[in-house]
Amino acid sequence: MSATGLIPWGVDAETGNGADPAHVHTRLRELKDLFEDDPNQQLAFKTIVSEVQRCKLAWHEESRDVAEDGTRVPDWWSTFVTDAIRSILINGNFIYRRCATRSALPVCIVADPVSVYTRWCEKSCRYMASCKRHRWQVGLVEPPGRGCGAHDSRLLVNSAAVRAFTATRQLRGIIDNWVRRDDANSDNAVFTSVSDDLRNQNGSDRQWFREVASSDHMPTRASDIDTNFATLVHRRAQTIEKLDAITHSARNRNPSAAGGARNPLGGTDITQNHQAAAHTEHIVSDGRVYTEARQLGSMADSKLLIDELKHSILFSFGVPPQALGRNINSERIAASNRLTEMAITTYTSFINLLRVRIGEAMKAETIDAGRYVGFSICLAQYELERLQPYLKDTICKTMIARCYEIPESFLDSKKIRATIEAEHGTGENAPAAPVTGSKRKAYTEEDTVKNLRTKASRPSK
């Protein structure tokens, strides 16, 4: 990845001739693999898909919003929406084409974002697919940038996966470090050091166990001590092997290591197989005295850093933590509602943009005699509660059925209207309509005339 987090594309030649360098596909493959393996990016992806598909696909007509003829939308259009969102999040746009026709209905597919991507064609001066073999169409959501100068042959693409690349790699490195730390902490490991029982001996042929005195000059030393480096290494290995044999013999003499350890109740059970005592020994120097390895700890702010990286990934994908029910501003209680409202508004705008761009592609491919596949209008629950008093009875019934995903035949329009009137009032208790400027002026003049007549009718004193 470059320092700016963007991917350079080659645009020296005409679009579709395969002139892009190999590192472009390598970096795209790296982005896609990280996107598919990272749980935080997948969480953002699934959240976006579920919110986009909350508005169900239905057949539309030019004359009205949704054709209520009961015609079912083919399943492959739901797959088309999911693949388009995946491609948008990886490289900023989606490339699609019509591949077949089933039951007189078109079947469209979305290209793999690694194989086919968006490029700027200098001859036609428009964005095109990198492959012209199958007449791919481009669905622009985040248009790539272009080279600035005449000799600048770069094309920069921006996407959610590119923006979240650095934070995802950092978070993955921290998590991997935590896993290695926990594995090291859970392993029974000790460090050995020189034992006090191993004292200097003048008669030893191992020079690190002998006492070096002034009389220990070359003529009086044993001829086989430290004659060469190979002898030194060999004798050292023999010494360590003997010390290791002493450890095994000590374990064999220990009844707890042989399986005769007492159970928590204090009795012994010879039929129960107990795990023999064992540990991993890291030899620092020759000896049998061991020191337990210190437990590895984390940084004091590691939890805060992990949360910040997770939030950064979600923000890069346009999914605020508030959309997942997380409150990241708990210390600002007074402004928490307003901050959440602003975050959800931004998230809703991004979802609407995806519906518009993907809906345009579906409309262009499925329009036939004024009918096409598109997203139906589905109000959220909090939106429906606010707008119920202002909706028509038929529209309110339809919106409730779509919001709670139940058939309209389950609902009664009279009971819905009665409930709305009971909650929001009716007649005199109904909320008054706002008074316009003209009505306010007319009311003021009429009131002035009444006041003058009242004063004139009063007897003078």
Among 344, 362, 378, the domain-final residue is 378
Domain contains 337: yes
Domain contains 411: no
On whether the CB atoms of residues 89 and 115 are closer than 8 A, the answer is no
Residues 291 and 345 in one domain: no
Best mean pLDDT range from 36-50, 214-228, 288-302: 36-50
Q: What percent of the chain has pLDDT over 90?
A: 21
> pLDDT (tens digit, 9 = 90+) per residue, 59-69?
888 766 655 55
Domain contains 333: yes
Domain contains 271: no
On whether the CB atoms of residues 219 and 311 are closer than 8 A, the answer is no
> pLDDT (tens digit, 9 = 90+) per residue, 88-105?
999 899 999 988 888 788
Question: What is the structure's pLDDT at 352?
Answer: 94
Provide the domain count of the chain: 2
Which DSSP symbol is given to 228? S
> pLDDT (tens digit, 9 = 90+) per residue, 214-252?
454 555 555 555 566 677 677 777 777 777 777 777 777
Domain contains 383: no
Element (H, E) at 417: helix 413-424
Domain contains 397: no
On whether the CB atoms of residues 34 and 23 are closer than 8 A, the answer is no
Domain contains 171: no
Judge whether residue 13 has pLDDT over 50. Answer: no
What separation in angstroms does the CA of 43 have from each of 50, 92, 319, 375? 11, 18, 10, 23
Judge whether residue 133 has pLDDT over 90. Answer: no
Residues 198 and 131 in one domain: no
Residues 211 and 232 in one domain: yes
Residues 112 and 94 in one domain: yes
Beta bridge partners of 96: 110, 137
Residues 322 and 295 in one domain: no
Residues 133 and 38 in one domain: yes
User: Taking Cα atoms as reference points, which of 141, 178, 124 lies closest to residue 354?
Assistant: 141
Say what the pTM is: 0.68
- Please provide the average confidence, as pLDDT, over all residues in the chain: 75
Residues 300 and 327 in one domain: no
Question: What is the structure's pLDDT at 1?
Answer: 44
Domain contains 269: no
Question: What is the structure's pLDDT at 74?
Answer: 87
Return the structure tokens found at 47.
Answer: 């959240």
Question: What is the structure's pLDDT at 186?
Answer: 80
* Largest Cα–Cα separation, the chain: 149
Structural domain harbouring 196: 191-257+276-307
Residues 36 and 153 in one domain: yes
